[in-house]
Each structure stands twice: as structure tokens, then as C-alpha cells.
Amino acid sequence: MSDSAAGAPIATAGAGGAGAGVRGRPLLGGVTDARVVAADVLADIRGGELLDPVFDRRARILDPRDRRWTQELLWGMLRRRGWLDAILADRVRGGLARLDPDLGDLLRLGVYQLLYMGSVPAYAAIAQTVELAKRRHGMGASKLANAVLRRVDRDRDDLRVIIPADPTDSLAIRHSHPRWVVARWVERWGVTETERLLLANNEEASVFARPIGVTRDALAAALSTAGVEVEPAPLVDDGLRLGGLAALTELGAYRQGQFFVQDPAATLVTRYADLPAGGVVADLCAAPGGKALELAREARIVLAGDRSAARLRRVAANAERLGVTNLFPVVGDGREPVVRDVDAVLLDVPCTGTGTFRRHPDARWRLRVSDLAVMGALQRELLRGGSAAVRAGGLLIYSTCSLEPEENEMQVERFLADHPDWTLEPPAAPLPAGTVVGGMLHVLPHEHGADGAFAARLRRGS
């Protein structure tokens, strides 16, 4: 059975450089740097690293054009990994499980290029993957890769994959998500709504700009002049969605500190917080710093806390670029905060990140059922520590980028049951329709066109 939702090839413009060679290097006798970087990034992910930072590190050797091509390859392959595995399962004797995991990833990269990257000629996708397999695993692996990829290429117009009758199994395979995650969502939302979410998760994540020191219209004009496509962002009236990007950090508006990058869901968390102007606010899990920067627009002082001094240095560098002078980094553990009696605490806790699978496609394959319990325990500790830093009558904003009730409503309900002097207090400020349910913020990727997010606004008794 063919799959129209997940299997239709898409053409990608402007990436031919890496398909035909890097900086003019011929294909014969070598593997392009872009493909070597892609393979190395996947090896690092298998070793426990996260996609975004390891890509930034590995891709430094690439020029901007090849960096964009490699990013499309990696993010796209990881979004469709489950479907690619289903294609390969019937074309690798004994199945993918018998192969070295690195060779399995090379085959996924090759099949993704064949089916989904229209700028890459079939001969290049096959020859480059075969040569890469030979370099990393020897002649036997290269022969296997050649046979498998040529078969996929022959079958490309009639790729047949056996899809189970069970709706949950079918969704998991067709839309490339772990079955246990899909099963949770089907139980909560039903098959139709879950499929909408899975489809949204497999779209390319947009880049959103938050203007600072300039109006949205002025920033839009500056970016348009630089060749960047701009349109209004969802959920927030002063944000911009960016398209046709070159190197972001090379834009004049970026270097001049006129914007920073933030998904509208993250911006909406700070809108939901509805903090009084002129207060002292502590963001106890601040890195990478976007929410702290938003809070600094109205607060007198923002204390940006994080356990990692290195991550805080990046927050401080971004604040300096943007000319934000009331944000102060504080190295420390949010479970034992070094600040006390502040007007408000933002607790944007570590979580499973199930609301950001579109932006971080590696997360869906890294996640385990046990992570819900592990994260839940950490979140309870952070709630205990963060609440102790709030003055009497002050506010605690608890937020996640998770869609899971164990990390969201259930955490808030448990905290309120254990702390009778705290109450849930919805914001007075109006928010987009459908985003506040039961007094708490709920942003869903398939409903709102942004990352998933949750927040609860808690008031300490006076």
C-alpha cells in the first residue's frame, strides 16, 4: 500500500550545490563535505548529543549554501525516519536491525535524497551514499547500499509499504512518530485530531523574528530590502515569519540588534504571564534566553539564571547585541535558587519537548516512556525551589514546551494541592481565542501554527 501523506516526493530549490559537489568539487573519487557532516552529526546524536548544537559545531566547515542543504537533509530525514525505515524494511534482507546503526543512518540519508530532494540527481544520491558506506564500513557495506538504493530508485513510482490495519500503528508508520507517543495522543484526542498534529510536526519549522528597539513594520522593511521574505507571525501581533533566509547572523538588522529569534508560542508564554511593569523578575531556567529578553521589555530587572555558565554567556552576548541593559545572568540551580523575594519567577522547566517535534525532530526518537517520570520529578523539585523565591503576593509562571498532562496540568494541580497558599490566577490581558483553557495556556502546533506550549500563572498568598 502506498502512502500519499508521507510518501510524496517534494522538490527543493536552491540546494543543487551539495547534490553535485561542494564548491565545485567533482563527485568522482570523493564524498562531498556536506554528506560527511550529515553522517557525523547522526553519529554524534546516537552518542547522546542534541541535533542543534552538534549541527552548529560540525557545519562550521560548510559555506552557507551547503549548510542549508545539509540542514534540510538532516532535519527532513529525521522527520521522516519512521517512514524511511518502513521503505527499507522490505528492501534490506533481515531488516535494518541487523545492520550497524551508522550504516542504517547512511541508507536513510540516501533514500531521503532519492525521494524528497528533487535537486539531487539519483546517480549522485546513490554514488555518494555508496562511497560513504565504503569509507565508513568497507566494501560489503557499499555493495549492500548500492543494491538497496538502486531498488528504491527503481520502485520510486510505486513504493509499496505494508501498513497495519490498527489505526495507531498506521499513524506511527505513515507519519514517523514513536508508536507509544502516538498511542497516548490517540487516547487523548482521537485518530483524526492526532493525525493533524502528526502532519504539523512533519512540516518544516518556520523562523520567527521578534523586533526590539524598532517597530515590526520598520524591521519588515529592513529585512525585505535584504532579500528576506516576511509575513505576520501567528498568535502575536508584532512578530514576523521569515522566509528565503541566507545566513541569519549576516543580516544587517541582526548585527544592529533589531531582532532576535523566538517562536510565537514562547512569546505568548510571556504575554500570558502578564507581569506588572517595573518589577524584579527571575527566570530560573533562562537559557537560551528568549523569554528573559521578552520579560526585560517591561521589568526593571531580569535575573537570568541557569546551571550552565557557558549557556549563560550566550544569553549575555545576545542581550549585549540587542542593547538590553537590565538583564543580569546568574549561575545557579533553579532547585536551590540564590535569589529571594522577587516579584515574579518564570519557571520554564526542562521537559520532554513533545510540543517541539517539528523544530527538534531528533527529540521524538530520543524520548523514552521513562522520561515522563524522570522529568516529572525534576519539575516538582524546580516548582518547590522556584516558589520559595517569590515574595508574598508575587507570581510564579510555570511553563513547558510539552503536550503531556503529567508535565502540565497534573503538575500544577499537585503543586496547588500541596501549597494551599497559592492559587491559579488567569491573566487579565486578552490572549488569542482558544489558547487559555481552564485558566492555563495551551498552544498546540496543529491548532495555532506554532510550537506547543503550556503555562500556568500562580499567585502566592499575601
Q: Annotated catalytic sites, by residue?
A: 401
C-alpha cell at 102: 551508522
Residue 321 CB partners (closer than 8 Å, separation 6+): 255, 257
Omega prior to 288 cis, within 30 of 0: yes
Cα 404-429-197 angle, rounded to 5 deg: 30
DSSP bridge pairs for 229: 243
Nearest-angstrom CA–CA distance, 227 and 219: 13
Is the C-alpha dihedral spanning 67, 18, 200, 55 positive or negative?
A: negative
Burial zone of 195 (CB within 10 Å; 0-12 exposed, 13-18 middle, 19+ buried) = buried
